[in-house]
Structures are given as C-alpha cells and as structure tokens.
Amino acid sequence: MQILIISDIHANLTALEAVLSDAGEIDSAWCLGDLVGYGPDPDACISQIRQLPNLICLMGNHDAAVLSQIDTEAFNPEARQAIVWTQNVISPDNIDFLKSLPDKIQINQVTLAHGSPRQPVWEYLLDTYSASRSFSYFDSDYCFVGHTHLPFVYQLNQDSRSVKLIIPDVNEKRELKPRSILNAGSVGQPRDRDTRAAYAIYNDDDQTWDYHRVAYDIPSVQKRMEAAGLPLRHIQRLTAGW
Ligand code: ZN
C-alpha cells in the first residue's frame, strides 16, 4: 500500500492541496496531527483531510489547545492568538472530529504519535538524546512523528545502542531499517529554511520511505492570513521557511 504521511498542516489549505496533487494516487493517509493553528483555513483543511482514503489521524498540541485540552498559556502569545481565532471560526462538526483523535496508535510495524512516543502530544525530538530516550516507549519497528516541522530520521544502532541522526535528501527513497523514528516534515509551516511543503510516502509492502517537497502559492495564503488578522510573524515566516 502507498500510504501518504502528512503532519503539521496548520490550516494551510494551499499547501495541503499542493501535497495531495503531488502525491497522486494513494491507498491510505496517516496524518500526524496539528491540522490547525497558525493558518487561515482550519475548517477547509480538516474537511479535506477527513475525505482522504483509509484515514488515520492523530491529535497534535495545537488541536488539543483548540479543544481547550491544553492550557493556551503554554503557547507563545502569537500562537495563542491564532488558537483563539481558530476556536471562533471552526465548525462544531470539525470540533467533534478533533475530539475523536487518539494521541498515539500502533498499526502493524509502525507507531504513530505527534511529538514523541514518550509524550505523544508535547515532546519535541530535536536531538539524538531525546530520540534515544524514545525507543523504549514503542515496540514496533518504526515510529512516525511530526511536531518539530523538520524532516529527519533517527536510526538506532542495535549493537551500540547509539542513535544516528540522518537528514534525508529530497526525493530520496529510503529502505527502512528497524528501528527508527521518522519525521516527514511539515505541510503548512516548514521550519528547515525550505519553504516548500513536505510529506512522505510510506510503502508498507517493501518498507520504503519516499520523502518529497512541493512548492505552493505562499502569497495567496499570506493574503488570507492578513484578511483574517492573524499575527504578522506567522505570515512572514512562511516566506523564509522557519
Ligand atoms: Zn506543529
């Protein structure tokens, strides 16, 4: 099966549509959370994601904040402003959908979580130290995460118990090796100085991970953010990819 892996869409419909058209035909979609927050299209993004085939969708910290399951005091003032704006525009039906999302799930050889298998909604895997602590919190061969908005592969060396960080090349098809933690990057707000939307295709027949980037119309998203009165910093960062 060709499984689309997306994360951190952050209410950016233009980026999501670019990813879906670039990905082409897929059998299934796994969305690793943060459907909303920052961007101008929360309802349209959730509705689009809900229509993806054989969808499995996880809860992210911004989704939890919109549901008031996380205190918005934990966010910086601008992120908080975007969360409050989202709460005011999102439909009750899509709120119910967000409420239904699990924070961690295992499907065959893969564990899915937004942040980390240890603290699914909140922990950032930003270095090999935090990654190395994560391996004892899942039993499957692989764990797919989002949250940092940075594409990465953490590979555990079973003999030395050391963890290696690999930054994947774009369009690189990687044969997965147990055990590893992988991040496909962010659809709606990339933070690796590459402004293009990021995603991956996981093939569970041959256990490969195909990592992609696709350009999208950033100014059109920025115009909608301006019209919605969303914070300037979030508008500007899309142009620089941070
Ligand atoms: Zn995020």
Q: Where are the domains of the chain?
A: 2-240
Q: Mean pLDDT, to the nearest integer, of 48-55?
A: 98
The pLDDT value recorded for residue 161 is 80
The pLDDT value recorded for residue 114 is 98
Residue 132 pLDDT greater than 80, yes or no:
yes
Percent of residues, the chain, with pLDDT higher than 70: 100
Residue 26 pLDDT greater than 90, yes or no:
yes
Angle among Cα 160, 150, 153 to the nearest 5 degrees reads 25
- List, in order, residues 6 or more apart from 196 with CB less than 8 Å away: 190, 213, 214, 215, 216, 241
pLDDT digits over 73-86, tens only? 888 999 999 999 99
Q: Cα of 16 to ligand 1 centre, how many Å?
A: 14
The pLDDT value recorded for residue 97 is 98
Q: Cα of 10 to ligand 1 centre, how many Å?
A: 7
Q: Mean pLDDT, to the nearest integer, of 63-72?
A: 93
The pLDDT value recorded for residue 34 is 98
Taking the CA atoms of 20, 26, 27 and 31 in sequence, report the sign of the dihedral they define.
negative
Count of C-beta atoms within a 10 Å radius of residue 191: 17
The pLDDT value recorded for residue 72 is 85
Residue 40 pLDDT greater than 90, yes or no:
yes
* 0.85 exceeded by pTM: yes
Strand-pair category, 152-156 with 180-183: antiparallel
Q: Cα of 173 to ligand 1 centre, how many Å?
A: 24
The pLDDT value recorded for residue 159 is 80
Q: Mean pLDDT, to the nearest integer, of 110-136?
A: 95
Q: Mean pLDDT, to the nearest integer, of 11-16?
A: 98
Residue 160 pLDDT greater than 80, yes or no:
no
Q: Cα of 62 to ligand 1 centre, how many Å?
A: 7
Mean pLDDT, the chain, rounded, equals: 96
Let me know: does 34 contact 147? Beta carbons within 8 Å: yes
Question: Could you tell me which of 66, 56, 70, 81 has the C-alpha nearest to residue 34?
Answer: 66
The pLDDT value recorded for residue 150 is 97
Q: Cα of 206 to ligand 1 centre, how many Å?
A: 29
Residue 110 pLDDT greater than 80, yes or no:
yes
Four-CA torsion 22, 25, 31, 34, nearest 10 degrees: 30
The pLDDT value recorded for residue 180 is 97
Q: Cα of 178 to ligand 1 centre, how many Å?
A: 26
71 vs 209, residue with greater confidence: 209
Q: Is residue 183 very low, low, confident or very high in pLDDT (cuts 50, 70, 90)?
A: very high
Q: Which of 115-129, 136-150, 153-167 has the lowest mean pLDDT?
A: 153-167
- For 2-240, CATH gives 3.60.21.10
Q: Mean pLDDT, to the nearest integer, of 202-230?
A: 97
Q: What is the CA radius of gyration of the chain?
A: 17
pLDDT digits over 96-108, tens only? 999 999 999 999 9
Give 159-198 as a DSSP string. TT--EEEE-PPTT-EEE--SSEEEE---SS---SS--SEE
